[in-house]
A and B are shown apart, each in its own frame.
Chain A
């Protein structure tokens, strides 16, 4: 193919130098259609070559410098030229020239030109990060654009450009845009998710991390991703020196501003519950204000947790506050919300009946969770759901019989509704790092119930991870499931799919086949699209029943299929046999 290159080049040069030709001239450019197609051809022909001759570079540079850029035809040629340069492996000056052309495009008033520039920059960002960094300000300007397609692309680009050095500046700007885009919840949500992701990845220190994510939470309220919030819990729990700071800060945020942010309230409630004892300085006043706080928080779940934390704090508080707490708890004893009622009843009983030692153990501060930061996405979500509920069930063992009666009541109610193993609605689900259950699980040494996750498939940048749940320990109703958990051979799997390629993939589907001695129940997947660079993940749950538990191994076959960036359908199959023994 190389022998055609001189021919193509001479034609391009001819077009570049030719004088005015009324037949083919469009907006001062001689036959842009032909030029663009010649450039495309050049790109295709030279694609496999690692080294590029001087001539090609010369011609491309000439086109890039000599083409007029104030009209569409010229821009189309320039754009194609830039794309050709990007495809050719070459020394960086020409690449820099190309990036500069795109930078100029970004200043163009025409939306279309900016759109293609952002698209091209998105494709080039991994290879030319440094050169693109210089155009950061222009890209930031594009975030203000009225057109959402441009904004989302600019946001993607900014996301890719963020690193340890510029994160503080960039995030500050992004937060500003977050305010500006308040009338577009979808974009705002995307923005918030991106901020949280870069913060998680590049945050210079934990304090800044906490500050930033709480700011995001204050701005966008419940639109913040659960992941980000979860990791925030983890960070606070793991850095004791920041616990007091964050508790104060959160408390100030919640009590001073009229906030509509549910996650922030929950976080605040959790902090006060966990670390309230550290606020020894103004303890009395502090607690009074917490009581005040609880009254105007309208969210049920919030209150449940609030109550829960209150009890924990209770160990060190005075008689009057104790009375206040009890009153508050009683208020929900006959609440219509089952979850709320159950908790309120349980805690009342706990306060009244349980011995001091049990109480102290139960209400002790929880240990910091051992979650890896890199994996917070998938694991922190799973781990809690595994050891979330058993404690409440065990609690009834350690408590008096009246509690049991109460709980059977609530069990009756809750068993009528479907009790999913992985609760679908994160709001209904108690907070993952809920200290209360965890502590009791410590008491009962339930730690071995955490089943490690496995990577079932990892090829071409697409990976599938299996997370397991013990049947009895994750449902929202406590006693019912404990009975089922004795059935052996049932494995509940949550398969999480992720795509770390530079391109998004569509029509993702996941299928499971099992041998005859096993039964399979599979639920629909959460979605079919996996965004590039692991920006999102989809999951699908299924249940395996091994009729020959203990005699025959747990083995399944999986098949995944998807469409990649070129529109090709990819189908991959794999056998999964490395299930952990205790799943």
Chain B
């Protein structure tokens, strides 16, 4: 089971953190993030991507300036976790089109939605990239539609009020 997913940049700044276990208080989370940041960013490139952290295993992978860290249990398949990270990155990439750190900063909600599509309660729930993208697009369309309707109704109301006063 995946315990949490963390995205940090090279300076150790957290860009996204999603917790699937309730074991940590807010303070502990901060502490854990700091620890992980130190451990992951200080590792050399030629070392393996698995780390023992407390009773868990950390699987991390670096994409450009971002470290994707996934915390799994010691009975879980580490290579599969790596693959899942890659899957997530590919989804991000095809959604944003050449994803970069800024995309994740300004559209953190989308990044969260995508992760929610792939992982549910610490378990993988969707393994098809295309499906994730489809759902995201659907969601965006819905959002767009609601926004349009809001705009429309606003302009309609304006017009209506104007009509009354005239």
Given known A-B contacts A26-B87, A36-B77, A147 and B131 have beta carbons under 8 A apart: no
Give the distance in Å from the alpha carbon of A75 to the alpha carbon of B83 in the complex.
10
Q: Contact at B79–A116, with CB atoms within 8 Å?
A: yes
Q: Give chain B nearest CB distance to A21 CB in angstroms.
A: 9
Given known A-B contacts A26-B83, A37-B124, A149 and B130 have beta carbons under 8 A apart: no
Q: Contact at A146–B47, with CB atoms within 8 Å?
A: yes
The B-contacting residues of A in range 562-583, CB under 8 angstroms, are 563, 565, 567
Contact of A72 among B51, B52, B83, B124 (CB under 8 A): B83
Q: Contact at B127–A34, with CB atoms within 8 Å?
A: yes
A residues in contact with B19, CB < 8 Å: none
Given known A-B contacts A23-B130, A23-B131, A24-B127, A147 and B47 have beta carbons under 8 A apart: yes
Give the distance in Å from the alpha carbon of A563 to the alpha carbon of B74 in the complex.
14
Give the distance in Å from the alpha carbon of A112 to the alpha carbon of B78 in the complex.
9
Query: How many interface residues does B have (CB within 8 Å)?
Result: 24
A residues in contact with B82, CB < 8 Å: 72, 76, 112
Q: Give chain A nearest CB distance to B120 CB in angstroms.
A: 13
| Interface class of chain B by DSSP | mixed
Query: How many interface residues does A have (CB within 8 Å)?
Result: 33
Query: Any chain A CB within 8 A of the CB of B84?
Result: yes
A110 and chain B: residue at smallest CB distance:
B48
Question: What 0/1 readout, one digit per residue, does chain A (76-94) give for beta carbons within 8 Å of chain B?
Answer: 1001100100000000000
Give the distance in Å from the alpha carbon of A83 to the alpha carbon of B76 in the complex.
11
The A-contacting residues of B in range 53-87, CB under 8 angstroms, are 55, 74, 77-80, 82-84, 86-87
Q: Give chain A nearest CB distance to B102 CB in angstroms.
A: 28
Given known A-B contacts A23-B131, A31-B127, A33-B127, A150 and B48 have beta carbons under 8 A apart: yes
A residues in contact with B52, CB < 8 Å: 149
B86 and chain A: residue at smallest CB distance:
A72
Give the distance in Å from the alpha carbon of A23 to the alpha carbon of B131 in the complex.
8
Q: Contact at A112–B46, with CB atoms within 8 Å?
A: no
Query: Any chain B CB within 8 A of the CB of A113?
Result: yes
Q: Contact at A32–B80, with CB atoms within 8 Å?
A: yes
Give the distance in Å from the alpha carbon of A75 to the alpha carbon of B128 in the complex.
19
Contact of B47 among A79, A83, A149 (CB under 8 A): A149
Query: Any chain A CB within 8 A of the CB of B41?
Result: no
A residues in contact with B9, CB < 8 Å: none
Q: Give chain B nearest CB distance to A503 CB in angstroms.
A: 10
Query: Any chain B CB within 8 A of the CB of A111?
Result: yes
B74 and chain A: residue at smallest CB distance:
A565
Query: Any chain A CB within 8 A of the CB of B4?
Result: no
3 A-B pairs with the lowest CB-CB distances in the bound complex, closest first = A111-B48, A76-B79, A76-B80
The interface of chain B, by Cβ under 8 A from chain A, is: 46-52, 55, 74, 77-80, 82-84, 86-87, 124, 127-131
List 29 A–B pairs whose Cβ atoms lie within 8 Å, in order of A's numbering: A23-B128, A23-B130, A32-B83, A33-B83, A34-B127, A36-B80, A40-B77, A72-B82, A76-B77, A76-B80, A76-B82, A76-B83, A111-B46, A111-B49, A112-B48, A112-B78, A114-B48, A115-B48, A115-B78, A116-B50, A116-B79, A147-B46, A147-B48, A148-B47, A149-B50, A149-B52, A150-B48, A506-B55, A567-B55
The interface of chain A, by Cβ under 8 A from chain B, is: 22-24, 26, 31-34, 36-37, 40, 72-73, 75-76, 79-80, 83, 111-116, 146-150, 506, 563, 565, 567
